A and B are shown apart, each in its own frame.
Chain A
Amino acid sequence: MSDVKAQMAGTVLEVLVTEGQAVEEGQDLVCLESMKMQMFLQAEQGGTVSAVKVGAGDFVNEGDTLIVLA
């Protein structure tokens, strides 16, 4: 299991994966917007998306878990 966490406070622009989806290492999972910059959060390892904790438009704080990979 690994948690994909927000690097900084911001708004979720788009969630690019769905629960149960297989992902590869380096694949973009979530696009976060903060300070008018777009940031893609990537999978540090391959696996399956076991939980999506956020949706587009949600405000997240630094360190919040956005996606759980199994």
Chain B
Amino acid sequence: MTTTPAAPAAEPLSLNDRLARIAAGGAPKYHEAAARAGKLFVRERLRLLLDEGSFLEEGAFANCDAPDLPADGVVTGVGRIHGRTVCVMANDSTVKAGSWGSRTVEKILRIQETAIRLRVPMLYLVDSAGARITDQVEMFPGRRGAGRIFHNQVRMSGFVPQACLLFGPSAAGGAYIPAFCDVVVMVEGNASAYLGSPRMAEMVIGEKVSLEEMGGARMHCSVSGVGDVLVKTEPEAIEWLRRYLAFFPQNFDGIPGNVPAVPPKAGKEIADIIPRNQNQPFDMQQVIERLVDEGSWLEIKKLFAGELLTGLARIGGQPVGILANQSRVKGGVLFTDSSDKGARFITLCDAFNIPLLFLADVPGFMIGSAVERSGIIRHGAKFISAMASAQVPKISVIVRKAYGAGLYAMAGPAFEPDICLALPTAKIAVMGPEAAVNAVYANKIAELPEDQREAYVAEKRAEYERDIDLYRLASEMVIDGVVPPEHLRDELCARLAACRSRVTDDLPKRRPVTPV
């Protein structure tokens, strides 16, 4: 067999030249364009994210003979955050707009497999135009094609924490990376996620729409719910993720650590925050501030379905996931989006051993034809199902009203909370007195002469109020205790410590068939 000698190559690149080319990323003009958009170079992002000097790169030489594809457009490796190991992939948008070729995909698969072997969090720093169509046969359909990334993500869900920082586009199939993460932080103005670009939407369905409107960060964080946290800058996104990870164990088997306790922020007493009139809104954020260690409250989905607040915090240094009804937004009534928000947050905490605290002030789930048509029953069922099946410690505090299925969603007594406490302002009932008297006595009221109706209704309401009196419920042991509001934080602190060893027996099954 004869061989044809290869054409004499130009001067072969030295190892140092190759290393320099890999470290430099794409051409200078792409770096300049990124800088103008407020974007950091991928290696700078990793430097800010990881503990100093901790990054160990993998697969840096991928596609190293292609001069315009350093690292094949993605940097992957192992590093540390707060001294704990994490795995990370980070698209380099200066290299072919961060698009995926076959080696890009292989690198992402390998770092995911590393995260599985090491049982450590997997972080995705996404800034990618999507698949390289020219490479599609090698990177799209096969066993180790891009689909495998999502397959791995689904397998890893609940095994190790997975988080996404979205710094740029996350297009078409790539849009599923954030969708399969536990949490997604988006940088306003730069981050976007969409299945089809505005150009494609115009071509295929005839819709004219801007990228921001269709798939921008603000839209996703406030309307679609694909995003969890909206930030202004990349360093802010990175700092948020570092704070977030501090609440989590390395994997499902770990227990999140305590930190030294910090007193809560000083301010108005809880008793002065909650109005006497049950129908008058108040700011639940202020109640949370009185209960949690100052500076520890990390809200998730702040801009989405604001009638339910969800976030991580510390009480006496102990991590806790809080769900609280916010009467300032839509009266604190639960809607389809707030139901999804609650369900999702519960599964996040339950997956990683973070105890749950429910602060209830809820008039119930929304009623009316509009919400029935949008499936309020199945969305509410999703929330209740997530709460009921959660195996972490659950503490329920009835702050003010807890009516109807609202009581159920907020871990009412029937759902095996470790404890269900009430503030003296609590009111627990199938419905509020006004609605109840009307429901039961509507015919009787109509029969009465008009001048007697008001007195009759007032009498029946008073009767109803006596029937649902808080101390009657306490006496019947419906609730486990009534706590003076000024003692609530201390009580929660002690209760959280006491229920840490909770074990819940599940019935044998392959999996529950969950409402969606």
Of the 9-residue stretches A15-23, A30-38, A43-51, which lies at the interface with chain B? A30-38
Q: Which residue of B lies closest to A36 (CB)?
A: B432
Task: Give the distance in Å from the alpha carbon of A26 to the alpha carbon of B34 in the complex.
Answer: 39
Give A residues with C-beta under 8 Å from B: 7-9, 33-39, 61-62
Contact yes or no, A37 B281, CB < 8 A: yes
Contact yes or no, B368 A9, CB < 8 A: yes
Does B274 lie at the interface of the complex (its beta carbon under 8 Å from any beta carbon of A)? no
Q: Considering residues A8, A34, A36, A61, which has the most beta carbons from chain B within 10 angstroms of its beta carbon?
A: A36
Give B residues with C-beta under 8 Å from A: 278-281, 327, 329-333, 335, 363-364, 366-368, 370-371, 432, 434-435
A-B contacts, 11 listed (Cβ < 8 Å): A8-B330, A9-B366, A9-B370, A34-B330, A34-B331, A34-B333, A35-B366, A35-B367, A37-B332, A38-B281, A39-B330
Task: Give the distance in Å from the alpha carbon of A8 to the alpha carbon of B435 in the complex.
Answer: 18
Q: Which residue of A lies closest to B333 (CB)?
A: A35
For A36, give its contact among B335, B368, B435 (CB under 8 Å): B435
Contact yes or no, B370 A37, CB < 8 A: no
Task: Give the distance in Å from the alpha carbon of A37 to the alpha carbon of B280 in the complex.
Answer: 7
B332 — which chain A residues lie within 8 A by C-beta? 37
Task: Give the distance in Å from the alpha carbon of A38 to the alpha carbon of B277 in the complex.
Answer: 10
Contact yes or no, A38 B280, CB < 8 A: yes
B370 — which chain A residues lie within 8 A by C-beta? 9, 61-62
Q: Considering residues A8, A35, A38, which has the most beta carbons from chain B within 10 angstroms of its beta carbon?
A: A35
B279 — which chain A residues lie within 8 A by C-beta? 33, 36-38
B280 — which chain A residues lie within 8 A by C-beta? 38
Q: Which residue of B lies closest to A38 (CB)?
A: B279
A33 — which chain B residues lie within 8 A by C-beta? 279
Contact yes or no, A37 B367, CB < 8 A: no
Task: Give the distance in Å from the alpha carbon of A23 to the alpha carbon of B332 in the complex.
Answer: 27
Contact yes or no, B368 A7, CB < 8 A: no
Task: Give the distance in Å from the alpha carbon of A34 to the alpha carbon of B435 in the complex.
Answer: 11
Task: Give the distance in Å from the alpha carbon of A36 to the alpha carbon of B335 in the complex.
Answer: 15
B434 — which chain A residues lie within 8 A by C-beta? 36
> Closest CB of chain A to B409's CB: distance in Å?
14
For A37, give its contact among B331, B335, B368, B371 (CB under 8 Å): B331
> Closest CB of chain B to A17's CB: distance in Å?
20
> Closest CB of chain B to A29's CB: distance in Å?
16
Contact yes or no, A8 B281, CB < 8 A: no
Task: Give the distance in Å from the alpha carbon of A36 to the alpha carbon of B361 in the complex.
Answer: 13
Task: Give the distance in Å from the alpha carbon of A8 to the alpha carbon of B336 in the complex.
Answer: 12
> Closest CB of chain A to B380's CB: distance in Å?
14
B363 — which chain A residues lie within 8 A by C-beta? 35-37
A34 — which chain B residues lie within 8 A by C-beta? 330-331, 333
Apart from A7-B330, A35-B364, what are 5 other A-B pairs with CB-CB below 8 Å? A35-B331, A36-B278, A36-B363, A38-B279, A38-B281
B364 — which chain A residues lie within 8 A by C-beta? 35
B329 — which chain A residues lie within 8 A by C-beta? 7
Contact yes or no, B327 A37, CB < 8 A: yes
Task: Give the distance in Å from the alpha carbon of A66 to the alpha carbon of B332 in the complex.
Answer: 21
> Closest CB of chain A to B283's CB: distance in Å?
14
Q: Which residue of A lies closest to B362 (CB)?
A: A35
> Closest CB of chain A to B463's CB: distance in Å?
18
Q: Which residue of A lies closest to B278 (CB)?
A: A36
> Closest CB of chain A to B280's CB: distance in Å?
6
> Closest CB of chain B to A37's CB: distance in Å?
3
Contact yes or no, B366 A8, CB < 8 A: yes
The 8 nearest A-B residue pairs measured at CB? A37-B331, A35-B363, A36-B432, A9-B368, A35-B333, A8-B330, A38-B279, A7-B330
> Closest CB of chain A to B14's CB: distance in Å?
62
Q: Which residue of A lies closest to B365 (CB)?
A: A35
B331 — which chain A residues lie within 8 A by C-beta? 8, 34-35, 37-39
A38 — which chain B residues lie within 8 A by C-beta? 279-281, 331
Q: Which residue of A lies closest to B331 (CB)?
A: A37
> Closest CB of chain A to B274's CB: distance in Å?
14
B278 — which chain A residues lie within 8 A by C-beta? 36
A36 — which chain B residues lie within 8 A by C-beta? 278-279, 363, 432, 434-435
B327 — which chain A residues lie within 8 A by C-beta? 37
Task: Give the distance in Å from the alpha carbon of A56 to the alpha carbon of B280 in the complex.
Answer: 19
Task: Give the distance in Å from the alpha carbon of A33 to the alpha carbon of B279 in the complex.
Answer: 9
Q: Which residue of A lies closest to B367 (CB)?
A: A35
A8 — which chain B residues lie within 8 A by C-beta? 330-331, 333, 335, 366
Contact yes or no, A39 B281, CB < 8 A: yes
B335 — which chain A residues lie within 8 A by C-beta? 8
> Closest CB of chain A to B405's CB: distance in Å?
12
A9 — which chain B residues lie within 8 A by C-beta? 366, 368, 370-371
Q: Which residue of B lies closest to A32 (CB)?
A: B331
> Closest CB of chain B to A57's CB: distance in Å?
16
> Closest CB of chain B to A40's CB: distance in Å?
8
